[in-house]
Amino acid sequence: MASVAEIFKTMTYGPAPESATGALDWLKEHDATFGHFIDGEFTRPGESRFETTNPATGLLLATVSQGGDEDIERAVQAARAAQPGWEALGGHGRARFLYALARQVQKHSRLFAVLESLDNGKPIRETRDLDIPLVARHFYHHAGWAQLRDTEMPGAKPLGVIGQIIPWNFPLLMLSWKIAPAIAMGNTVVLKPAEFTPLTALLFAEICQRIGLPKGVINIVTGDGTTGAALVAHPDVNKIAFTGSTDVGRKIRQSTAGSGKKLSLELGGKSPFIVFEDADLDSAVEGVVDAIWLNQGQVCCAGSRLLVQESIEEKFLEKLRRRMDLLRVGDPLDKATDIGAIVAPVQLARITELVNAGVAEGADIFQGTCPASECGGCFYPPTLLTGVSPASTVVQEEIFGPVLVALPFRTAAEAVALANNTRYGLAASLWTENITLSLDIAGKLKAGVVWVNSSNLLDAAAGFGGFRESGFGREGGREGLWEYITTSYPSSAEERGKTGRGAATRNERAGEMDQTPKLFIGGKQVRPDSGYSLRVGDLEVGEGNRKDIRNAVEAARAAAGKWATTSGHGRAQILYYLAENLEQRAESFDADELQKSIEVLFACAAWADKYDGAMHRVAQKAITLAIPEPLGVIGVGCPAAYPLLGFISAVAPALAMGSVVVAVPSEINPIPATRLYQVLETSDVPAGVVNIVTGKQKPLLETLSGHDDVEGVWMIAAPKDLKKSVETLSAGNMKRLWTPESPLPDLQEALREATQIKNVWIPYTDELPW
Ligand code: NAI
């Protein structure tokens, strides 16, 4: 007689299909034809429509309206009209609606799960156990933040109308990530779902009606990229939140440049999955399954690059291949299916093309023996590519499919170098039983999310978002809320009026004026490359050019690593010392600005060792440490008003948080900034941490903005035309921009802008011994 173990091995699975009836009935109720959801009503389906099909079968599901400029206009107007009332409802009032949305999602979870599987092709096991529960979790969590906004974030105000554009890989989950925080904070939204997967958003719109959500708070306009572009271009939208490809993100960055719209971008990735020789290999294999075969690998944070220590490479890959043989590809509605359909033929073609390119470049391909799907739709088998080089196409490009590339490494240092060898920085997963090693590596990875001995864990309480070309901004957690509120205000008329004060004062002109100040680069006073000087009233300063900026960035980069790892305590001491030395030179500066600058330096020194980040309590058996990391090299365009205080108010928070700067002082009066050279030289500020290039702000900031080795550009109280060109140029490497209107922006905001949050997930249970 066969043993149970043998039976487990030889037993074949029968089908366990989830019924599609409920979802198909819902489509029938609507004649499988949909308009948009605007101002609380469904519009009549327009002339211009498109079809959405089931990728597993190729069969038509519904016809959906293609939103045009007029639809966007009406939706934005509805959102604008609804916004004051929604804000006036107060935190508790909004919390009640978010709670009602969460409850309705739970009540209709089966319908949502089936509809999502039909429209997207992802396995029902995932929509049922992951997507939809996380959607409900997001609304619950943000009901809490609505309730707490005014006590936890005093002074917070909503931004207004938010335009949101989402992709097709987690249609309803991305909707919840976008809508929940936005409306919790008192904004209203116009959301455009992806053209491949609009259906669950339309079902969600019905739920909004059912709970009596005030009209216009949530508007949903369906359509393709042109609809998205119209939303981005609409002048009455205050912010765009986008998730999707890096290419489209770049276009959006360019198109919003100079418009004053706030922007957050969650883009692509090529995330490393690192297995050290002392890892629990069986768990790590399951981790790989979650990392790259969840949702057919169509996940922005998919662990698509397996880095495995050479000593265990063969053993690990062998285990992995065996596991791959057991993965079941097929009908997404079958509860035993692991891998469903690819969202659309165009994506299938893209995956096939990239894998073929990899094989042509010499990769070995393994696709296991799992039977191919018999559904006849868009399927691609789980695939492992080995024998690849770090520079090959499949290692560098986001494939966005069930394709894993594997590379060996020898040492931990090599693992980090390989992991960071990408233009992206979204997520990373690392596996080792050695806690010292895991936390050491977690700190060194350039990624917004790091999972220790786990992978692809997502939760509303933890921030999610990338570094580098993976975009900027966070979704989830307290850090995600900052994307939807403002705490600083445009400069007052009085402050603007003070621009004239930028001109050199009598004090500032006393002494040393016979020589033209140089530039300050790498801790030294250097002559400008051009040899020219710039007239400022009847004085002169060195006129920096592109080459000087490049030298300054090089000096800043060289200093960045050491400054970032200097302790907060160490940085605080230097900032205090700077304040002390500034005071010694009181006669060189405007007395009022000097006094306030010293206060700012003290405040920044105070924060240097107190800006702690957070520990998030996520719903899984883990905690996440939300660690503010220094942004890196920041280019700073200082305001025209307050030539000293404006400079210090921008530069000091960056230094306090461990970033380094290339500052371009006020063009009207750069003299006080040049007086700082000697103060910096005598205050133990390491060479390269502060670099000052005087000259015409526009060309200098444009050079900084186009420079690939600069992580952020700040333009404080900059004129509109300057913002436009700098924002356009910044799209190259997706740098973070900060353009506060006030010449003396809010300190807390500056500290946030000087950092980026890395969320490190650590396995943890707080099971108490009683
Ligand atoms: P996409 O970036 O074109 O689409 C995402 C969303 O942006 C959709 O709603 C689309 O209609 C909209 N959109 C397209 N062009 C737009 C424009 N000019 N202005 C405003 N909105 C616009 O992504 P696509 O073409 O569906 O997929 C292509 C590749 O992008 C994938 O193979 C994958 O590599 C990547 N991708 C990454 C995602 C992520 O979560 N990071 C999600 C989806 C795709």
Q: Which atom of ligand 1 is nearest to 223's Cα?
A: 11
Q: Compute, in angstroms, the gap from residue 531 CA to the centroid of ligand 1.
A: 48
| Residue 577: both structure tokens together | 């010392």
* Ligand 1 atom index nearest CA of 166: 9
Closest atom of ligand 1 to 267 CA is: 41
| pLDDT of 732 | 87
SS3 string of 589-658? Answer: CCHHHHHHHHHHHHHHHHHHCCCCCEEEECCCCEEEEEEEEECCEEEEECCCCCCCHHHHHHHHHHHHCC
Q: Between helices 591-608 and 568-584, what is the axis angle to 10°?
A: 170
Q: Which residue's alpha carbon is nearest to atom 38 within ligand 1?
A: 244
Q: Rg of the chain over CA atoms, in angstroms? A: 27
Q: Please, which residues have CB within 8 angstroms of residue 94's CB and are 6 or more apart in sequence?
A: 86, 146, 183, 184, 186
Catalytic residue among 266, 398, 543, 711: 266
Instruction: Pick the residue whose CA is nearest to atom 42 on ligand 1.
Output: 244
What does the block give as tokens for 384?
A: 């492992």
Nearest to 473 by CA among 238, 756, 250: 756
pLDDT in tens, 257-289: 999 999 999 999 999 999 999 999 999 999 999
pLDDT tier, 372 (very low <50, low <70, confident <90, very high otherwise): low
At 606-621, the pLDDT tens digits run 999 999 999 999 999 9
Nearest atom (ligand 1) to Cα of 401 = 32
The Å distance, Cα 279 to ligand 1 centre, comes to 36
Q: Among all chains, which residue has been given the structure tokens 């299909």?
A: 17
Nearest CA residue ID for atom 32, ligand 1? 400
Q: How far is the centre of ligand 1, averaged over its atoms, from the C-alpha of 225 (Å)?
A: 8
Ligand 1: nearest atom to the Cα of 398: 34
Which residues make Cβ contacts (< 8 Å) with residue 707, sequence separation at least 6?
Answer: 549, 550, 553, 635
Ligand 1 centre distance from Cα of residue 165 (Å): 9
- C-alpha distances in Å from residue 277, one per residue of 20, 273, 441, 585, 591: 45, 13, 14, 58, 62
Q: Quick one: which atom of ligand 1 is closest to the CA of 232?
A: 20
Q: Which of 192, 246, 248 to mutate to test the pocket of ligand 1 (most atoms within 8 A of CB)?
A: 248
Q: 757 pLDDT exceeds 90?
A: yes
Name 71's Cβ contacts closer than 8 Å, sequence gap at least 6: 36, 38, 43, 46, 65, 221, 223, 227
Distance 596 CA to ligand 1 centre (A): 47
Task: Please give the distance, rounded to the nearest whole angstrom, from the Cα atom of residue 238 to the centre of ligand 1.
Answer: 21
Distance 61 CA to ligand 1 centre (A): 21
Query: Which of 11-15, 369-373, 662-666, 701-705 shows the lowest per-residue confidence on average (mean pLDDT)?
Result: 369-373
Write down the pTM of the prediction: 0.92
pLDDT at 766: 80
Q: What is the pLDDT of residue 492?
A: 39
- Count of H helices and E strands in the chain? 28, 32
**pLDDT in the model for residue 13:** 72
Q: What is the mean pLDDT of residues 2-10?
A: 80
Average pLDDT over residues 346-365: 97
pLDDT tens for residues 407-450? 999 999 999 999 999 999 999 999 999 999 999 999 999 999 99
Q: Residue 244 Cα, ligand 1 centroid: separation in angstroms? A: 4
Arithmetic mean of pLDDT, 104-110: 98
Distance 588 CA to ligand 1 centre (A): 54
- Atom nearest to 194 CA in ligand 1: 9
Contacts of 200 (CB under 8 A, 6+ apart): 112, 115, 116, 119, 171, 172, 175
The pLDDT-based confidence of 501 (bands split at 50, 70, 90) is very low
* CA-proximal residue: ligand 1, atom 9 (nearest): 194
Ligand 1 site, CB within 6 A: 165-169, 192, 194-195, 224-225, 228-229, 232, 243-245, 248, 251-252, 267-268, 300, 347, 350, 398, 400
Q: Is the pLDDT of residue 508 over 80?
A: no
Asked whether 427 and 448 are in contact (CB, 8 A), the reply is yes
490 or 611: which carries more pLDDT confidence?
A: 611
Q: Give percent of the chain with pLDDT exceeding 70.
A: 95
**Which is catalytic among the residues 300, 375, 378, 638?**
300
- Residue 499 scores a pLDDT above 70: no
| pLDDT score recorded for residue 455 | 97
Model confidence pLDDT, tens digit, residues 51-65: 999 999 999 999 999
**Is pLDDT of 491 > 60?**
no
DSSP conformation class of 499: G
**Contacts of 504 by beta carbon, 8 Å cutoff, 6+ apart:** 536, 537, 539, 669, 671
pLDDT at 519 over 80: yes
Percent of the chain surpassing pLDDT 90: 88
Task: Tell me, yes or no, if 300 is annotated catalytic.
Answer: yes
Confidence check: pLDDT of 512 > 60: no
**Which residue's CA is minimally distant from atom 25 of ligand 1?**
245
Mutational test site, ligand 1, from 65, 66, 165, 475, max ligand atoms within 8 Å of CB: 165
* Least confident segment among 484-493, 596-605, 606-615: 484-493
Q: What is the mean pLDDT of residues 381-396?
A: 96
pLDDT higher than threshold 50 for residue 507? no
248 Cα to the center of ligand 1, angstroms: 6
The residue nearest atom 8 of ligand 1, judged by CA position, is 194
**pLDDT one-digit tens code per residue, 144-193:** 999 999 999 999 999 999 999 999 999 999 999 999 999 999 999 999 99
Split at pLDDT 50, 70, 90, the class of 400 is very high
Look up 6 and say whether it is catalytic. Answer: no
Report the 10 Å Cβ neighbour count for 591. 11
Q: What is the mean pLDDT of the chain?
A: 93
Split at pLDDT 50, 70, 90, the class of 538 is: confident
Ligand 1 geometric centre to CA of 635 (Å): 30
Q: Is a pLDDT exceeding 50 seen at residue 506?
A: no
Of all protein residues, the one whose alpha carbon is nearest to atom 15 of ligand 1 is 225
Atom of ligand 1 at shortest range from CA of 174: 40
**CA-426 nearest atom, ligand 1:** 41
Name the residue of 245, 270, 467, 475 whose CB sits within 8 Å of the most ligand 1 atoms, as the mutation to test its pocket: 245
* pLDDT above 70 for 505: no
